Chains A and B, each alone.
Chain A
Amino acid sequence: MSSSVRQGSRASRYALRTIALGYLTLLLVLPLVALFYRTFEHGLAPVWAAVTAPYAVHAFWLSLELVAIAVPLNTVFGIGIALLLERHPFRGRSLVGALIDVPFAVSPVVIGLSLVLVYGDQGWFGTSLMAHGISVIFSVPGMVLATAFVSLPFVARETMPVLRELGTDSEEAAATLGASPWQVFWRVTLPAIRWAVTYGVVLTTARALGEFGAVSIVSGNVLGVTQTLPLYVKNEFDNFDVTGAYAASVVLALLTVFTLLFMQVLTRKARRAD
């Protein structure tokens, strides 16, 4: 890390530091502290009861199920598309790159809507899906699609710069030593990008777990059936069950904190590996 520069007086340095930390405290830290405070204001018991309520538990497992499907899909896709764009460039590659970035530019509500317009009853595939008895919207497959859409870019975006910097030398060396393309990927490329991929997977998981808007539209929000944990939070809030909403929020917040800690560990490991 760069050493601090004696630029300007100590006073100005302290002033900047105070303003920056003050801003962060007011915006991030205090609200988080308030969440925990108000959740546990009346003791542990009501929180525990809220967290173990059947609908809450179901919502939790449904969230995990969506993550368990969407994240591996996006990981395989992310590595594949990164390899394609960085190792086998083709015309139209910037278009594909832009497509991958779409989830960053689009509102989750719009994402949900666009999926409904393809796979919903009034959508393009609506009638043919209905004919085959396949239900996408208002059931889990649709929610998987929504979750995958919003968390699509992360693995690809983390992997591409690493692949670019790695260069093709070691892969070519492996080829001259007799390795098949699969062996080159498995023994040389993948180990070299593993930290970038892992970091991308963590980001993907966090995003997938926390998704609200898109899944909200696509799921129909049926309690106990198509409600994820974030949707459950809203549901509880709408029903004036503040404890329930807070409790579920705390669970999600704790998961987030663990994710952040994990990201820290990974960054340090990746830095050491270089």
Chain B
Amino acid sequence: MLQTLSHLSEPMAEVSDEALVIKCKKDPQYFAVLVDRYVPKLTRYIRRRSLATSDDIDDLLQNIFIKVYRNINEYNTSLLFSSWIYRITHNEMIDWYRREKRRTTLSLDDETQDLISRLMTEEDHTSRFSNEEQKQFIIKTLNTLDEKYKEILLLRFFEEKSYEEIADILKIPAGTVAVRLNRAKKELQKRLKNYGTTE
């Protein structure tokens, strides 16, 4: 029974994801720990990049973890487990968008606001975009960007992934990540320059 975790005597908090996967391959009970660990992260990620309802999110998570469990033997430690599971999530989200005929739509929550501040600090826009209304404008502007730019900004600034992790998630070379991210930031900057003149 996957649900029964009581026999796992050792403390799991200190065990890395990768070590857990290795344990999981021998004893499927450890999969429950991985699920527990990633449900909050993936829920937040899905919520940030879509306007999915709670039911949609539950369905998406279920599909994602079924895929993870079914393909657990595919995972190898040459990449981070988090990159691998985010890749599966990313692909599942694309399928979901296709099915639902939707586009990636970034949404704003408390934590996202802090991350926007981070993105804007990097872009030296702090003074101009400090209040709630202005941050809403940023989200609105982000949502007008191309899918590929929106996606890469989300992974870099909202999920705080490194270039290598983004490369592994999107299955593109790290050089392409750098180029695409740079273009995305320039495009965002260009659109934000209009702030104040159009608002």
Q: Do A and B bind each other?
A: no
